[in-house]
Structure 1
Amino acid sequence: MNAREKPAAVTAERNSDQGDWLDVLVVGGGINGAGIARDLAGRGWKVLLCERDDLASHTSSSSTKLIHGGLRYLEYYEFSLVRKALQERELLLKSAPHIMWPLRFVMPHDAAMRPAWMIRMGIFLYDHLARREVLPGSSSVQLRRSPLGAPLKARYERGFVYSDGWVDDARLVLLNALDAQAKGAEILTRSPCTRVKRDAQGWTAHIQTPAGERIVRARALVNAAGPWAESFLRECTEAARGETLATKSLRLVKGSHIIVKRCFEHDHAYIFQNPDKRIIFAIPYERDYTLIGTTDVELPQAAIAGGAKAEIDAQEVAYLCEQASRYFEKPVEREDVVWSYAGVRPLLDDASGDASAVTRDYSLESNTQGAPLLSVWGGKITTFRKLAEDAADLLGEMLGQPARPAWTEKAYLPGGELSAWIGRPQRPDTDFERLVQAVQKRYAYLPEPLARRLSRAYGARISRVLGAAATIADLGAEVAPGLYEIELRYLQREEWALSAEDVLWRRSKLGLHYDAAQRARVSAWFADQT
């Protein structure tokens, strides 16, 4: 089957008095749920995804925003996970060069943390566990002779440089949902699944949409509820007497980040080793800022009951400031923090004592005691595509049609196919710069910063945003600096945006650049639409 073609769905027998029939209901609109819905829809299954809140409104918009193998996981002998993530790294970079790009990392050497030979060995493995076509290999650097050492304390004389990637995590979820929808899936946001019941033929699900309750019937159920995967099975599912649906448990680990004014001028990121054997990153962020994170704080299930959002606490802020200040010549103070965010990682409980040592790998648990149930435990952003592919393969077997082939390995995400703008692709990073040049040529009225931002956000879909606009006046009112009505209407129409928060903090990070009055104008615009 050609992955670019929309195949005909094979659906279950209709039973109109019991609601809509689906092949698969996916519960959860984070990266795993959206990725699975996309893969399944591309194989011709009839899919509905429901999400209680906005897409990517929890864990999947609160990551460190890296496409990486996880250098530190080598220390825990997670060779299989690291190799799998490294294999995915370049596939993802090529699939959406507008929202993902290569990033070089600098690790200053601190002999008190780990010996140089150990770091060299780890980086050598990192370079060679998977094939690289785009990303350059590692090297050493004399920090006192390099601009990379300028922001650091003088005692850090030597360092190591290696490659990974950066991703706009919330937009990655959006693009998967858009592709799923384009291939026939239905996406419901602000629509919690309140109850599901299993019988011999399938699942009956009650979904509370903004328009009222909707009842659907599905041959299979995917539990991709992230931190709520365990509680969803215990609280919202009904099965035959004696059936146990939740056989695994999660460890909820909060990861918090702070954003400060830019700490350095160059385009590399830093990875810092801490005395507690953890690491933090300091990453160029949104042009004018530095992102610092993350922490590892274990949470009880009660902390996220009812969909509560995680929040950074004062101890985490102090920890991140202290650890960054061990390296930067100019200390990072609490008063420097301009924004912060926290997310809860749903890690598969592997009985590790230290939260930072808990595996970041995923497990797919199939249950066929009745209608098929697939639960997703754990995972990380870098391996979402492979997780989705494995999940779709497994669901095909559970539904009796295992021959539907995988298709996402070489497929573009929406906006990632740039050839109509730039010709033949070369490298993801240079391809994006060529896109910006093409956009500036076609839409010569756009100021360069706006052309670049729109290219970053939408890639080849920028023409869907701008439509037939031929002058800056055609973009409509400028609701906030650089944010015009034409873009807000696109986000409403095609990207499920219903509030200022959706736009300012997930579909973009413009909220970071605006003051309170400017953010309030965006809120007022949405209020006027209702």
Structure 2
Amino acid sequence: MQDLGTVDLLVIGGGVNGAGIARDAAGRGLSVMLAEKDDLAEGTSSRSGKLVHGGLRYLEYYEFRLVREALSEREVLLKAAPHIIWPMRFVLPHSPEQRPAWLVRLGLFLYDHLGGRKRLPPTRSLDLRTAPEGAAIKDRFTKGFEYSDCWVDDARLVVLNALDAKARGATILPRTRAVAARREDGLWRIELKRGNGETLTVSAKGIVNAAGPWVDQVIANVTRGNSARKVRLVKGSHIVTPKFWDGRQAYLFQNTDKRVIFVNPYQSDKALIGTTDIAYDGDATDVTIDESEIDYLLAAVNRYVKAELSRADVLSSFSGVRPLLEDDADTPSAVTRDYVFDVDAVDGALPMLSVFGGKITTYRELAERGLAKLQPFFPQMSGDWTADAPLPGGDMPNADFESFEAGLRARHPFLPRPLAKHYARLYGTRAETLIGEATSLDQFGLHFGGLLYAREIDFLTCTEWAETAEDILERRTKHGLTLGPSEKAAVAAYLAERRALAAE
């Protein structure tokens, strides 16, 4: 049993909240260790709708503070990571059966003005009969609105926070489960188990429980504690289809049940459609989409579009479980997306901070507020710092991605334009490290298909904790959407060969 020593803070959970807290704490001068039972972002944080947004529909539930804070964070994150977060325009065809036009206009007015919008263009009205954005929409929908939000590569957001945490001294341990934790002799004593069966121990002055859907299980089974707070598990599923419209805009469709469905451009030639909201009682690890959910999403889209989709158009799907704060709302859609903290301490020491709820847009602010809760236990901790700090790869002048991408192509003219854009988008300024001194594609090693070369795989395994083909093809990148079964098998074989060589 290996003893890893003592740290100020052990963070349990490698989703966006855990990685964000680890980064923030490390930047304040605390010694930090993060333990995640699976791969980073393997759970909810890679299965979101991939939006940094205020949550337009939350206005109907009078969640004005939550929307305002989320809209404010939208601006902060857009500046911090312009390579993985970028503006997107959303077209909302007006459906009078669901909401009157005056109510939609009022909501969009508030949306434009609640959060101090600076970088994004305002809402505008559209005549869908003449606007190009209306070409894909059925003729009976004549009026629409267009507003701004942002796209985010959710899994990469988690990895970038973990990378920054590591750069600031944190230890990141994917595939490491917290098995037991107890207070003993003035410290938390925590037992960890690696995926290979190895047992580790670490001592900590405090614990952060950011386990998402498993936050209750950590309290009950790892620390043997209790909390008055509970999470309510809600399943959200998405489908991927071919993109069926022209233009870079996304769509927001009001469904007959008054829910809204996002239809977003995805990986240039595909559409990401979601999400559902279904109460979930099973193991969050095993969540999958149901046929009824696919039918629901297709019906919601087909109500609006001329080129109706069929089951055969569904290329892939994914489902996640949102760990929402239980607030006794009547329906899953009405459950708040806000968050709260529980702090359990003994005689003013050895705290455990548990995180309940939250959404990807507010993860940075959540981390900041969570550490404010821990300030009394760590008086040496420095103050807030993340609001003005770029994430790894995001240190571009004026957060100008287009200029950076153009410069990258100019510095490496041998890169095909799609490959240069891929590297710029995923890695930002870190793309220079990936490319290195290469002057031709021949130096990038095996080509597995699409835009994937061995050089990128090697970079991800060496710098981003990637171990499996799924880590690389589904979370660190989205190459899995373009590679076939034999090409994916070749990636797995390549990784197995690398592991064998490393073991010799």
TM-score (norm 1): 0.92
Contact 1:414 1:461 in 2 (8 A): yes
Q: Please state if 1:366 is matched with 2:343.
A: yes
The equivalent position to 2:278 in structure 1, one of 297, 316, 319, is: 297
**1:398 match:** 377
1:199 aligns with 2:199: no
Q: Secondary structure at the match of 1:321?
A: helix
2:228 aligned to 247, 250, 255, which one?
Answer: 247
Partner of 1:215: 201
Pairing 1:500-511 to 2, within 5 Å after superposition? 500-511=469-480
Choose which of 354, 377, 382 in structure 2 pairs with 1:375.
Answer: 354
Quick one: structure 1 residues 340 and 19, their matched pair in 2 at CA, closer, same or farther if it must change by over 3 Å? closer
CA distance in 2, matches of 1:247, 1:203: 22
- Tell me by how many angstroms 1:86 deviates: 0.5
Inter-partner Cα distance in structure 2 for 1:170 and 1:96: 13
1:302-360 Cα deviation digits (max 9, x unpaired): 433xxx23110100000000110000111121111001000000000011011000000
Between the aligned partners of 1:118 and 1:405, the Cα distance in structure 2 is 41
User: Which residue of structure 2 aligns with residue 412 of structure 1?
Assistant: 390
Q: Which residue of 1 aligns with 2:444?
A: 475
Q: Deviations over 1:280-303 (max 9, x none)?
A: 000000001011000001011x43
Within 5 Å, give how 1:289-438 maps onto structure 2: 289-300=270-281, 302-304=282-284, 308-369=285-346, 371-401=350-380, 404-419=382-397, 425=398, 428=399, 431-438=400-407
Name the % identity.
48
- Supply the distance in 2 between the matched residues of 1:210 and 1:44 (Cα, whole angstroms): 29
**Cα distance between partner residues in 2 of 1:28 and 1:266:** 38
Q: Secondary structure of 1:144's match?
A: coil
Which of 244, 267, 278 aligns to 1:263? It is 244
1:7 is matched with none
Q: Please report how far the alpha carbon of residue 183 of structure 1 lies from its aligned counterpart in structure 2 after TM superposition.
A: 0.2
Q: How far apart are 1:198 and its partner, in Å? A: 1.9
Return the offset for 1:132. 1.4
Moved more, 191-200 or 254-263: 191-200
1:451 equivalent to 2:429? Answer: no
Helix, strand or coil at the partner of 2:176: coil
> Which amino acid is 2:283 matched to?
A
The 1-side partners of 2:61 and 2:111 are apart by 14
Unaligned 5+ runs, structure 2: 500-504
Is residue 205 of structure 2 the alignment partner of residue 224 of structure 1? no
TM-score (norm 2): 0.96
Q: 1:19 and 1:60, CA in 2 relative to 1: closer, same or farther beyond 3 A? A: closer
Corresponding residue number in structure 2 for 1:133:
118
- Residue 19 of structure 1 and its aligned partner are, at CA, apart by 5.4
Partner residue of 2:502?
Answer: none
Native 8 Å contact 2:32 2:171 kept in 1: yes
The AA in structure 2 aligned to 1:397 is P
Distance 2:56 2:312 in 1: 31
The alignment's C-alpha RMSD in Å is 1.4
Shift of 1:246: 2.3
For 1:516, the equivalent position in structure 2 comes to 485
Give per-residue Cα distances to partners, 1:475-498, cap 9 Å, x unaligned: 112133321111111100000000
What is the number of residues matched between the two proteins?
496
d(CA) in 1 for partners of 2:345 and 2:199?
28
Does structure 2 conserve the Cα–Cα contact (< 8 Å) formed by 1:175 and 1:413? yes
C-alpha contact 1:58 1:309 (8 A) present in aligned 2: no
TM-aligned CA distance change 1:53 to 1:19, over 3 Å: closer
Which letter does structure 1 place at the counterpart of 2:239? I
Task: Name 1:4's counterpart in structure 2.
Answer: none
Report if the CA contact (8 A) 1:480-1:521 is conserved.
no
Structure-2 separation of matches of 1:332 and 1:502: 30
Code of the aligned partner of 1:499: T
What amino acid sits opposite 1:405 in the alignment?
A: G
d(CA) in 2 for partners of 1:479, 1:326: 39
Return 453-462 or 474-483, whichever deviates more: 474-483
Q: Distance in 2 between matches of 1:184 and 1:17?
A: 20
Matching residue's letter, 1:331: E
d(CA) in 1 for partners of 2:63 and 2:265? 28
Find out whether 1:486 has 2:467 as its counterpart. Answer: no
What residue number does 2:60 align with? 75
Q: For residues 445 and 290 of structure 2, what CA distance do their matches in structure 1 show? A: 41
Q: Could you tell me which amino acid in structure 2 is paired with residue 99 of structure 1?
A: I
Post-superposition CA distance 1:232-259 (Å, at most 9, x none): 1111114xxxxx5322111000000000
The structural deviation recorded for 1:200 is 5.5
Give the distance between the partners of 2:312 and 2:188, measured in 1 at CA: 52
Q: Contact conserved, 2:71 with 2:114, CA < 8 A, in 1?
A: yes
Deviation (angstroms), 1:17: 11
Which 4+ residue blocks in structure 1 deviate beyond 6 angstroms? none
Amino acid at match of 1:328: V
SS in 1 for 2:9: strand
CA deviations over 1:457-510 (Å, ceiling 9, x no partner): 000000111111122111112133321111111100000000110011001111
Residue 268 of structure 2 is matched in structure 1 by 287
Matched, 1:26 2:11: yes
Q: 1:104 offset after TM fit, Å?
A: 0.5
**Cα contact 1:361–1:380 (8 A) shared by 2:** yes
Report the AA paired with residue 98 of structure 1.
Answer: H
